[in-house]
Chain A
């Protein structure tokens, strides 16, 4: 690779010298030689090639100065983004074919060149979080690079503005827009840099950093979306649809939407956590081995208990909720789970030690590996999607479950105003869950599978919650095409809302886990033992 680059450079330099030498030999003087060169197409081709190689060399030198050695990940990322950028630049050429000239190409090359440094700076700043030691050199490099890039961005924006103001719309519109996006990127990188720098100074974990990052992301993406929409509007008015801006625009909109959702949902989940979920007691902590499954560190205080009785550091949960609003262990959707206080109030005796029963599960082996060798579970049953309808019909009428209520429970339902409303809310929650389940089943049935797994698991957990005893359901449904919702819905045993909401005992993964483990444990153990033996032999051979 290196050799090739050196050879290419040497060859182009030699070629250029030959071309220039030839021109000078023929014309003997400077100006005639230049004229001769510019009029000869092959000579110009060599000159352009030389310029291109020089730009590459320049890039290499600057890269060495500001980044040192690139990590392989950074390099791959750079190549990938460059490909997109080059493709889009070619698309842009089609819109501005009238302006097509060497200067135009040079400007685009420069833009691409500067973009690459923005990307690298972004990657490098993201890397700050992961790198155990950050030296002074790193700070000097990043800060000087960011200053330099910001200045060049500002210069080109200014230039584009002046040009457009005096000479009317031209390809400079694109440059102005591109550099505006880049300057926003610089702002984003700078904010991240400051956050990471502060974070690395502090010994103690800085909990609000992730939240700040989330809001920064939202604001930056909002700005970008505005810019893109404005740009497309202007382009449509003056030229045509700027196809070359569509992919980045789409991606920006998508990340804006994601940032928005993240903010809204995570706020809700975190608010729930702060207001609804109880702190874990010392006993509960002990039952969970004092270990937080998210960070694998000890929990002393500040641990929260989710409605499913799983316990985590509040700080860890907050970070997780900023990504997903589920229990990391059992994937209960905490936004859909009923409030846990009622659970505490009415805990029925058999499940009093539910948290203890459940907590070890947090440390239990993973859910079976995705391709776990479970045979297709229904030898003599209709194909999986039919299951839900083949089995006892999904969620039955309310009266049936009301009938199963004890008098006391019924009275409780009628009782105080608050309980009454809570019960209704509970029922509504369940109805929602049932509706979701049936919709999901239909979706499954028609093989519309995008996003399905996520939802189905939520519903599964939701309905599972209300079982009063372990389901005798035998089949470990653990086949890719077969979401958990199927068996769960079929064994749905609704009971009174508030009075049983403590029964978060049955991790939906459990039956599967166990049967799966039982079935393969012995074999796997033996297999693994032998494999290691072999592995060691091979190693000692080497």
Chain B
């Protein structure tokens, strides 16, 4: 059951995402041989300091997907309160209820088979727009976000230019 079902569901989600892509998001398997490793491109939400950036990330799906959540990791440099230094994303939709690394997340937002790749990516977009500075994935970023927004925006702008392959000028 598990293998086939996970594969079929991932294929279905991929099809759905290709036919009906949510705006600002592109996602799909790295290669069609392995549907359990995806890459995604996320456009920084407009009106935020990440505006204009295109942020690449990878998603790793467990064999029992969708019963367990995938893992998501940005593969570009990121500076954000909810993203670890190595790019791993820390949001509640990616945590199964029960394992709660931060202790404040409501289980209504946690992973369940109702969620999907699309919902994860949309959550990540809104996380980019509205960091949650209570989660301590990146303490420095959280502190800067709270106390020195200008500096935070500056760093974000630099990263945006970096993802686009532009020099950090301006």
Q: Which residues of A contact B (CB under 8 A)?
A: 73, 126-133, 196, 199-200, 205-207, 209-210, 293-297, 315-316, 319-320, 323-324, 326, 328-329, 331, 362, 365-373, 449-454, 456-457, 460, 480-484, 508-509, 527-532, 534-535, 538
Closest CB of chain A to B8's CB: distance in Å? 7
Inter-chain contact A370/B93, CB cutoff 8 Å: yes
Inter-chain contact A319/B109, CB cutoff 8 Å: no
Inter-chain contact A453/B106, CB cutoff 8 Å: yes
- Check A449/B103 contact, CB under 8 A, given A320-B67, A527-B46, A531-B23: yes
Inter-chain contact A370/B123, CB cutoff 8 Å: yes
The 8 closest A-B pairs by CB, nearest first: A532-B23, A369-B123, A129-B63, A205-B1, A528-B23, A366-B119, A531-B24, A457-B107
CA distance A112 to B135 in the complex (A): 36
**Per DSSP, are chain B's interface residues mostly helix, strand or loop, or mixed?**
loop
Residues on the B chain within 8 Å of A484, using CB: 106, 108
Residues on the B chain within 8 Å of A534, using CB: 24, 43, 46, 52
Inter-chain contact A129/B100, CB cutoff 8 Å: no
Beyond the given A320-B67, A480-B104, please list 10 additional residue pairs across the A-B interface where CB-CB is below 8 A: A126-B63, A205-B1, A293-B113, A323-B64, A323-B96, A362-B114, A369-B119, A371-B127, A527-B47, A535-B24
Inter-chain contact A370/B3, CB cutoff 8 Å: no
6 contacts between A and B (CB under 8 A): A209-B1, A320-B113, A366-B119, A371-B132, A450-B103, A528-B24
Inter-chain contact A296/B1, CB cutoff 8 Å: no
Inter-chain contact A209/B54, CB cutoff 8 Å: no
- Stretch of B32-40, B138-146, B147-155 on the interface side: B32-40
Inter-chain contact B123/A366, CB cutoff 8 Å: yes
Inter-chain contact B67/A296, CB cutoff 8 Å: no
Inter-chain contact A372/B126, CB cutoff 8 Å: yes
CA distance A109 to B72 in the complex (A): 34
- Check A531/B106 contact, CB under 8 A, given A295-B8, A315-B1: no
Q: Choose one: B2, B23, B35, B91; the contact of A370 (CB below 8 Å).
A: B91
Residues on the A chain within 8 Å of B3, using CB: 128-130, 196, 199-200
Closest CB of chain A to B141's CB: distance in Å? 14
- Most-contacted residue by chain A among B41, B64, B131, B134 (CB, 10 A): B64
Q: Choose one: A128, A294, A535; the contact of B54 (CB below 8 Å).
A: A535
Inter-chain contact A209/B2, CB cutoff 8 Å: yes
CA distance A297 to B4 in the complex (A): 12
Residues on the A chain within 8 Å of B36, using CB: 130
Residues on the A chain within 8 Å of B93, using CB: 366, 369-370
